[in-house]
């Protein structure tokens, strides 16, 4: 064989090896570029809330995402390997490919793809814009607010109807056209109670006036006793006379303070009876009278419906009126029983309280004007009345700790 032939034969294996090496390097570069492309595709898919599979068929493919969450605007920049030219292809959203990628690429499952498509439809509107949606809790809150508003409206409606009927009943009673339910025994007890309260209020006013005036007398006696005592020191010739008068006025002042304590205790007890016990009973009477007006209003309404014709329209109204009448009748009967019990207990309590207070007032006034200091003090002990020392308004905050 010639030397040229042998050299060609020896270079052939080296060329084959070089070609295989070059092909391996090209394949490695393709794999690296494909892996980079897959990472870019996954990053852009996370940003746009959708995953776009990357396909390649021996070509260098680069995806540039320019669209919004709907992925409707996608540019694919592709170029053949080793080719200086490259083109831009406008493509619709990805609908799949029949080629398998060279590099390992994560494909979304059908369930994930359907969820992503539903989210994209919810976010985007018909024209690709964002749609203003409301979350579930907001809808629930709106429903609750609507129900509350309807309940309040229904309450106002019922209150308006009840007020109208009660006002009509009161006017008809004052004009003498309507009938009124009257419990003669209970009404007489209520009238006596109101008259008793007026008389006790007058008694309380006079007792307070007496206490104010008597307090001024006691203060005057104290000043007069001090003046007599001063004059007894400065007038030696009338020392005994001024001294006797000074002691007398001081004794009267002391007994007057004791009597003031008894009068104030009497006033406090009567005030509690009039402005708390009797007033509480009169409040219950007021509730009873309001219930009586409501009872008569719905009773009159039911009677008017019963006097009218009975047909398919009026029968449901009559049944509804009968139910309302029964409700207000039970309320009226209950309050009437409560008022009767309160009046009974009030009468017993009034007799007991006034018996003790009148006995206290009588004994204290008699002992004072009789000059019986021991009996006056005994009256205070009997009713557990404690007098304050002169000039002591009460314990200090430090003593109360």
Cα separations in angstroms, 343 against 17, 197, 330: 124, 13, 20
For residue 77, the cross-strand partners are 62, 88
What phi, psi does 200 have (nearest 5°)? -70, -35
- Neighbouring CB atoms inside 10 A of 274's CB total 19
Torsion-angle region of 52 (φ positive above 0: left; ψ -120 to 50: alpha; else: beta): beta
The per-residue pLDDT for range 333-385, each reduced to its tens digit, is: 999 999 999 999 999 999 999 999 999 999 999 999 888 888 888 888 888 78
Helix (H) or strand (E) holding 99: none
Confidence at residue 112, expressed as pLDDT on a 0 to 100 scale: 56
Sheet holding 60-65, edge to edge: 60-65, 74-79, 87-91
Matching residue, tokens 């064989």: 1
Tell me the pLDDT of the chain averaged across its residues: 73
Given a contact cutoff of 8 angstroms between Cβ atoms, the answer to whether 376 and 258 are in contact is yes
Cα separation, 250 vs 225, in Å, equals 6
CA–centroid distance for 45 within its chain: 50
What pLDDT is attached to residue 178? 79
92-97 long-range contacts (CB < 8 A, ≥24 apart) are 94/52, 94/53, 96/53, 97/53, 97/55
The whole-number average pLDDT for the span 207-233 is: 93
**Which residues make Cβ contacts (< 8 Å) with residue 238, sequence separation at least 6?**
231, 232
Q: Do the strands 87-91 and 60-65 form a parallel or antiparallel pair, or are they unpaired?
A: unpaired
User: Which residues, in sequence order, are CB contacts of 296 under 8 Å at separation 6+?
Assistant: 169, 173, 178, 179, 180, 181
Report whether pLDDT(131) > 70.
no
Report yes or no on whether pTM surpasses 0.75: no
Run of H or E residues at 75: strand 74-79
Report yes or no: 228 and 246 within 8 Å, Cβ to Cβ.
yes
């Amino acid at each position: 064989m010639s030397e040229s032939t042998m050299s060609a034969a020896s270079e052939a294996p080296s060329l084959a090896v070089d070609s295989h090496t070059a092909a391996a390097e090209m394949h490695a570069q393709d794999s690296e570029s494909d892996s980079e492309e897959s990472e870019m595709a996954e990053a852009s898919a996370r940003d746009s809330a959708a995953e776009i599979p990357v396909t390649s068929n021996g070509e260098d493919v680069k995806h540039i995402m320019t669209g919004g969450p709907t992925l409707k605007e996608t540019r694919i920049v592709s170029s053949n390997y080793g080719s200086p030219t490259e083109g831009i292809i406008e493509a619709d959203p990805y609908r799949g490919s029949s080629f398998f990628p060279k590099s390992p690429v994560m494909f979304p499952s059908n369930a994930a793809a359907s969820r992503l498509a539903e989210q994209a439809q919810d976010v985007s509107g018909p024209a690709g814009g964002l749609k203003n949606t409301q979350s579930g809790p907001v809808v629930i809150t709106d429903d609750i607010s609507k129900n509350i508003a309807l309940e309040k409206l229904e309450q106002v409606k019922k209150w308006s109807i009840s007020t109208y009927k009660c006002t009509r009943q009161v006017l008809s009673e004052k004009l003498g056209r309507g009938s009124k339910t009257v419990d003669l025994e209970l009404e007489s007890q209520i009238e006596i109670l109101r008259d008793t309260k007026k008389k006790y209020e007058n008694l309380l006013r006079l007792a307070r006036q007496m206490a104010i005036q008597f307090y001024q007398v006691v203060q005057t006696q104290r000043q007069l006793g001090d003046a007599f005592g001063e004059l007894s020191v400065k007038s030696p010739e009338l020392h005994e006379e001024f001294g006797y008068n000074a002691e007398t006025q001081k004794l009267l002042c002391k007994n007057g303070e004791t009597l003031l304590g008894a009068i104030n205790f009497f006033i406090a007890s009567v005030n509690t009876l009039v402005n708390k016990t009797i007033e509480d009973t009169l409040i219950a009477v007021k509730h009873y009278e309001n219930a009586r007006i409501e009872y008569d209003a719905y009773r009159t309404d039911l009677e008017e419906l019963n006097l009218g014709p009975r047909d398919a329209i009026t029968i449901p109204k009559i049944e509804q009126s009968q139910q309302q009448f029964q409700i207000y009748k039970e309320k009226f009967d209950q309050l009437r029983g409560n008022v009767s019990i309160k009046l009974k207990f009030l009468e017993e309590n009034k007799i007991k309280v006034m018996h003790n207070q009148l006995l206290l007032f009588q004994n204290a006034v008699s002992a004072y004007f009789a000059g019986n200091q021991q009996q006056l003090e005994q009256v205070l002990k009997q009713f557990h009345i404690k007098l304050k020392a002169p000039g002591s308004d009460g314990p200090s905050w430090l003593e109360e700790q």
